[in-house]
Each structure stands twice: as C-alpha cells, then as structure tokens.
Amino acid sequence: MTAAGGCACKIPLDRMDALLESLGAHPAAFGGRTDNLVPGTQRDDAALYRLTDDLTLAFSTDFGTPVSQDAEIWGRIAAMNAVSDIYAMGAEPFLALGILGWPPELPNETVAQLMRGAVQALAECSTQLAGGHSIASESPVFGLCVIGATRPGRIMLQSNARPGDRLILTKPLGTGIVIAGQKAEVASAEAVSAAESVMLASNRTACRLAGEAGVDAATDVTGYGLIGHLRTMLVASDCAATVFPEAVPMLRHAVELAEEHGIVPNSAERTYFTLEDRVDWSDLPMARRIALCDPQTSGGLLLSASPGRARTFMARCAEHGLPAVEIGEVTGGGSAGTIAMKPLGRGAGEGTPA
C-alpha cells in the first residue's frame, strides 16, 4: 500500500535543501519568542528549548509508512525510530503524541496491534503515550511527536564534530535495502527478521554511554543514509571526513540483495547522485556505495568523539554488548561536507578498526 517503506519516503535530500533554504535561516524568523530556543540552524535531530539553567527540553516529530507486514512490529519500530531523534541529542524521552493516517478499508484490529506495539516500545524507553491525532489516508502512516529532557552538559549537537575526532556507528546499515527487497519479493524471511531486529533495537543505552564518556557530537542515521547524515554533520561543523568503507557494519543479506538482485531503494539512488561530487568513492563497488546511502529506519547513532572519549565509549559499549564500530575520522582538510573513502589496506592510521 506504499511506494516506499519507513524513512525511505523522506523528501529527497536535494529538494529538502532547497525547501529549507526557502524558509530562511531558521523557522523562528517567522516570529515568536526565541530567547530560550537553542539555535537549530544546523539541522539537528530535535529542537531544544532551555527551560531553566539546569533543564533543556528536546522536541521532535517523526512518522512514516510501514516497514513490516506485522502491524505490531511496525508500531514498535516506529516508536523506536521517533525516540531516536531525542537520544541523538543526548536527551531522555518521557512523553509522546501519536500521528496516524489510516486507510478506511483496514480493520480496527490492525490499528490496535499497531498501537500496542508502539506503547510497548515507548514503555521500554520510559515514555508515556499521552494522545495524538488521526486522519483518513490512502496509505497507512504512523509516527510520534516526542518530548525529552537533558542537562546542558549532556547535549549532543551535529555542529560539535572536530578535526581528529573518531567517527563511530552503533548499528549496521542495510535495513532499507531489505525492506525494498521484501517489496520486490526477493528478501528471505531470515533477511527480513535480521533487518527488523536492527530496527527494533533502542539507542537508549548508546545515548547514556555517550553522555557518560563526554561525547558531544551526534546524529542518527535515517532516511538519507550514512553518507547523507554524515555530510550534514560535517557541514554544520565546517569539517571533512575520511571513511573506512570496509569497517562500516552492514547486514549480510542487504549486501547480497544489492549485489545479486540489484535491489536499490530509490531514495538511496537519489542521495548517491545528489552527493556524488561531495564524495571521493575511490574504487568502491557500486553496491557498497548504495549501501552507504541506504535509507535507514530506526538506524544507529553516528557519533564524533575525540580519540580518548571514543576509546572510553567503545569500551563501555563492549561491556554492554552494543555493536559500536569505529568507521572513520573527522578531518580539517578539504571543503566542509566532503567525504573521502579510504580502504583499510592503504595506509590507514593506527586507530583504524580491523
């Protein structure tokens, strides 16, 4: 019932750039009180509002089309996806409002299953569903507006990446390819199960550990893929980056679907061509390039941290069984937002992951 699943239905990156440019430097320019609003010109994952000297609120909205044929699983994934924006800011969610668009021909029981999944996932994140809004829609759409809270010293911003920082990813890529493969009826049940397991995993522990390690730069990887969201972070921080493509964790089934069946999500292709002149792909095969642009739903956190803080964070992740991987480094050379692929066998630095 949908043209694309989950975050693959986002407005294309080039069109989104043009849309935001047309709005001006910041929506607050349209009026209203802005003295307590933390500037959001760098396209962070949530808006921040300083309530007191010791308390900052984080607000975000995220919704999309189904990513599973099981309504309850979709509800859980949609909730995890929405709260991830709050975690990417270093905040803890506590309240949510639902957003529902529902085709009249689908039974009410399916809605009940969807909401059960969402409420269960929110409960695991200590977040309460307090209400929401619904409309009739040709395609099913569901998501959440989420409110969280953090202390000033725990805030993570995309603009805080610095040359010399290590780049860390906390979930493997490839869920978008698997969802597209499922729509094309070539993804196995094992592939779908593996992708859903990734999307169902919460970023709560990764957020907490990052805060404890002093990490202050992060985003989450969603509809514009690793390359798209890394580019946004680098532009905000006026930096460039080197990525070790062999180190980037990917779902095995997703790589197979791209290589053997030619499964390419339309949004991944659009992101690839939009940023083609911003990325030095070296001799990386096309299937791997597409995977690095693959739209993720409920993807992992992409963190930028100094070498010492990166080591602390990685060690704590290992203790908690989180699959965090160092995938590159922030550099000061080149124009802001440019990315260079560096195969591990070609003079990679001492800190490069195996």
Q: What does the alpha-carbon distance between residue 35 and residue 45 come to, in Å, rounded to a whole number?
A: 20
Radius of gyration from C-alpha coordinates of the chain: 19
DSSP helix/strand/coil, 133? strand
The DSSP code sequence of 215-255 is --EEEE--TTHHHHHHHHHHHHHT-EEEE-GGGS-B-HHHH
Which residue(s) pair with 48 in the sheet?
38, 58
In the chain, beta strands by DSSP E? 37-38, 47-52, 55-64, 92-102, 128-136, 141-150, 166-169, 217-220, 240-243, 279-280, 301-305, 325-331, 339-341
Q: What does the alpha-carbon distance between residue 278 and residue 336 come to, in Å, rounded to a whole number?
A: 9
Q: Determine whether 293 is an active site residue.
A: no
Nearest to 169 by CA among 220, 94, 228: 220
The DSSP code sequence of 48-100 is EEEEETTEEEEEEEEEEB-S-SSHHHHHHHHHHHHHHHHHTTT-EEEEEEEEE
The token duo for 289 is: 């390039």
Catalytic residue (choose from 7, 125, 239, 293): 7
User: What DSSP character marks residue 9?
Assistant: G
Q: What does the alpha-carbon distance between residue 250 and residue 194 come to, in Å, rounded to a whole number?
A: 11
Q: What does the alpha-carbon distance between residue 167 and residue 319 come to, in Å, rounded to a whole number?
A: 19
Give φ, ψ of 301 to 5 degrees: -80, 140
Q: β-pairing, 217-220 with 279-280?
A: unpaired
DSSP helix/strand/coil, 143? strand
Q: Which residues are catalytic?
A: 7
